[in-house]
Structure 1
């Protein structure tokens, strides 16, 4: 059903506009699923996974790098929901959700979540949170 919906959307909107729409949808989702304050990256990862787990939306691993956080979201159901050809924009949902959560937890507004690589066959998508 969502694949048919995605196909209809893709006929009327560019991938860039669809990605922006999905990003906003992710922001709305995050606003409705408020995280508790986190004292560490591990606490933040645990809180986020407590949101994803009951929804069967996979899980995230967050690693600290020198100048950013690396987020690997595993088993994202986006391919199954929207189809392969729509992964270029549907992954914006997770960008919006993660960026919104980071901001609500106190991150600098200049930092952004950006996708670093395409989804693999198992639904793992890598994002970067930084400048």
Structure 2
């Protein structure tokens, strides 16, 4: 029988989200997303992310490379994976690799992954605003597959 976890999933299941927290966080995120409208959950999780960004300041960064290095230093301190930043004409792509998503009974918690993506929207929005970004521009999650992918740019605000 084939292992139901991909190599990436196996990394998450064995390395990230300490076992003592897996069930608790899965239950917390499940209940949060079931109990309140998504807009309220997103607002709450954005604020959690913004608070995390305040606790993990990056300092002023002059280039995309130094910004990426500063962010990765912060994520390494927490064992929260790493990020790659790619500038396009329309937006800044933020690709967060190896976000510590809780697993329960060998499966990723979809509610936890969705909740962590909302929280990362708040973290990256706050960090980018501190780098000189505009307050009305927010990072928006566009994919939560193996990586959490966010776009940061004005065109995203119409969606």
Under TM normalisation by the shorter chain, which class is it? 0.7 to 0.9
Which residue of 5, 17, 21 corresponds with 2:40?
17
Cα distance in 2, alignment partners of residues 130 and 25 from structure 1: 21
* Residues 57-76 of structure 1: pairs in structure 2 closer than 5 A: 57-76=80-99
Unaligned runs of 5+ in 2: 1-23, 155-159
Cα distance in 1, alignment partners of residues 119 and 148 from structure 2: 12
| Match in the other structure for 1:37 | 60
Q: How many residues align?
A: 128
Which residue of 114, 121, 125 corresponds with 2:140?
114
> Cα deviation per residue 1:45-79 (whole Å; 9 max; x = unaligned)?
00011100121111110011012111100011135
Deviates more, 1:15-24 or 1:84-93: 84-93
- Name the TM-score, length of structure 2 as normaliser: 0.73
Question: By how many angstroms is 1:86 displaced?
Answer: 4.0
> Cα deviation per residue 1:76-122 (whole Å; 9 max; x = unaligned)?
113549811343333111000000000111112232211112x22x3
| Secondary structure at the counterpart of residue 70 of structure 1 | strand
| Match in the other structure for 2:20 | none
Which residue of 115, 124, 131 corresponds with 1:98?
124
CA contact (8 A) 1:18 1:90 kept: no
Cα distance in 2, alignment partners of residues 125 and 76 from structure 1: 8
4+ aligned runs moved over 6 Å, structure 1: none
Deviates more, 1:8-17 or 1:20-29: 8-17
Q: Name the Cα RMSD after superposition.
A: 1.8
- Name the TM-score, length of structure 1 as normaliser: 0.87
Cα distance in 2, alignment partners of residues 125 and 103 from structure 1: 20
